């Protein structure tokens, strides 16, 4: 999958969880990624976060850290 698409999708997930009550957005994003993204997509997102995490929402960056 294209890197831009992964970033877009991850940031969309973060936007959704921002609208939900609670302050556990990063944990919920990580759970969503574990449940619905295949391992290669998660690995690619983790690599992208290492290269340039500024394109990722803050909670996505936190979620990526929880995936490792």
pLDDT tens column, 12-63: 999 999 999 999 999 999 999 999 999 999 999 999 999 876 899 999 999 9
Domain of residue 19, residue span: 3-67
Burial 27-59 (b: 16+ CB within 10 A, else e): ebbbebbeeebeeebbebbeebbeeeeebbbeb
Is the pLDDT reported for residue 68 higher than 90? no
Tally of structural domains, the chain: 1
| pLDDT for the residue numbered 52 | 77
Q: Who wins on pLDDT, 68 or 29?
A: 29
């Amino acid at each position: 999958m294209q890197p831009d698409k992964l970033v877009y999708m991850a940031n969309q997930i973060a936007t959704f969880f921002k609208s939900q009550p609670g302050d556990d957005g990063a944990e919920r994003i990580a759970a969503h990624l574990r449940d619905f993204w295949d391992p290669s997509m998660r690995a690619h997102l983790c690599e992208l976060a290492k290269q340039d995490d500024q394109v990722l929402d803050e909670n996505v960056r936190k979620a990526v850290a929880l995936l490792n």
